[in-house]
Amino acid sequence: MQIKEFGEFTGVSVRTLHYYDEIGLLTPAFVDKSTGYRFYDENSLIRMQEILFYRELDFSLKSIGEILSSPNYDKNKALKEQKHLLTLKKERLERLISAIDGAVKGEIVMKAFDNSEFENHKSEAKEKWGKTDAYKEHAQRTKNYSKQKWNDLAAGMDHIMAEFALCMRKDETPDSAVVQNLVKLLQNHITDNYYLCTHEILAGLGQMYVADERFKNNIDKHADGTAAFICEAIEVHCHK
pLDDT of 7 higher than 60: yes
Same domain, 88 and 24: no
Residue 131 confidence (pLDDT): 52
- Contact (Cβ atoms closer than 8 angstroms) between residue 3 and residue 17: yes
Query: What angle, rounded to 10 degrees, do the helices at 133-142 and 61-69 form?
Result: 130
Amino acid 107: pLDDT: 64
CA distances from 167 to 64, 172, 183, 188, 225 (A): 35, 5, 12, 19, 12
For residues 26 and 90, state if they share a domain. Answer: no
Which are the contacts of 145, defined by CB distance < 8 A and separation ≥ 6?
153
Inside any domain, residue 61:
no
**pLDDT surpasses 90 at 224:** yes
Lowest mean pLDDT among 15-29, 132-146, 164-178: 132-146
* 158: in domain: yes
Q: Verify that 148 and 239 share a domain, yes or no.
A: yes
Residue 121 included in any domain: yes
**Is 87 part of a structural domain of the chain?**
yes
Question: Considering only 38-47, 49-58, 108-117, 217-226, which range has the smallest mean pLDDT?
Answer: 108-117
Which residues span the domain enclosing 153? Answer: 132-240
Choose the weakest-confidence range: 102-106, 169-173, 228-232: 102-106
pLDDT higher than 90, residue 8: yes
From residue 135, alpha-carbon distances to 53, 190, 210 in Å are 21, 12, 21
Total domains in the fold of the chain = 3
- On whether both 38 and 82 belong to a single domain, the answer is no
Cα separation, 240 vs 6, in Å, equals 45
Same domain, 122 and 141: no
Note the helical H segments in the chain: 3-10, 14-22, 42-56, 61-69, 75-104, 116-130, 133-142, 147-169, 177-193, 199-211, 213-220, 226-238
Same-domain pairing of 148 and 237: yes
What whole-number distance in Å separates Cα of residue 110 and Cα of residue 48? 36
**pLDDT, position 192:** 93
Tens digit of each residue's pLDDT (9 = 90 or more) over 95-123: 788 878 777 777 655 565 565 665 555 55
Write down the mean pLDDT value for the chain: 83
| 160 & 209 share domain | yes
pLDDT of residue 176: 95
